[in-house]
Amino acid sequence: MLDTQQYQRILIALDGSESSENAFTKAAKIAERNKGELIIAHVFDVNAYALGMIDNVGISALDATVIDIDRKRMEKMLEEHKLKAKEYNIEKVQAIMAQGKPKIILAKEIPDEYHIDLIVVGQTGLNVVERWMMGSVSEYIIRNAPCDVLIVRNKIQDEEDNND
């Protein structure tokens, strides 16, 4: 499996989905085994909240409030995952909150800046309609990342596949 390479700088992308939680567990185990560093990231895509935009006026006050609430929730999630990482005896843990296009930031900017050698992401955090409209972040990362990428399958999907 991953025994031949000793990944030292592992990026885990979190979005609050069950899929990203499964990916976090896998990334933490790899970092623990390799005595590597875990970089936990969440990218805020403000465009996902842009329903309130009219004639380039910008994000409505309601949307800004929702964004602020979501940002605080994600900051808390990142801090909780930093603590979880310590439970795996991972000494070096960083949390990154970025704003922009998740695909670009996770596939290119963070890996380049932090010299990432493995990106771990969940299979998907989006439903079918969101994937169709926005495209799969995981798929983009696979095609564009400068390093190895591990896609962690959803547990429910695995169980359904095994029962067929």
Domains, the chain: 9-163 (3.40.50.620)
CA angle 9, 91, 105 (to 5 degrees): 35
Q: What is the pLDDT of residue 41?
A: 97
Tell me the per-residue pLDDT of 98-155, one tens digit each, with 9 for 90 and over.
998 999 999 999 999 999 999 999 876 555 555 554 457 888 999 999 999 999 987 6
Query: Position of tokens 């972040």?
Result: 137
Q: What is the pLDDT of residue 150?
A: 95
Q: What is the pLDDT of residue 52?
A: 44
Work out the number of other CB atoms within 10 angstroms of the CB of residue 74: 18
Highest mean pLDDT among 7-21, 28-42, 64-78: 28-42
56 falls in which pLDDT band (50, 70, 90)?
Answer: very low
Query: Position of tokens 């623990």?
Result: 32
Check: CB of residue 29 under 8 Å from CB of residue 85. no
- CB burial readout 32-70, b (16+ within 10 A) else e: bebebbbbbbbbbbeeebeeeeeeeeebeeebeeebeee
pLDDT at 157 over 50: no
Q: What is the pLDDT of residue 32?
A: 97
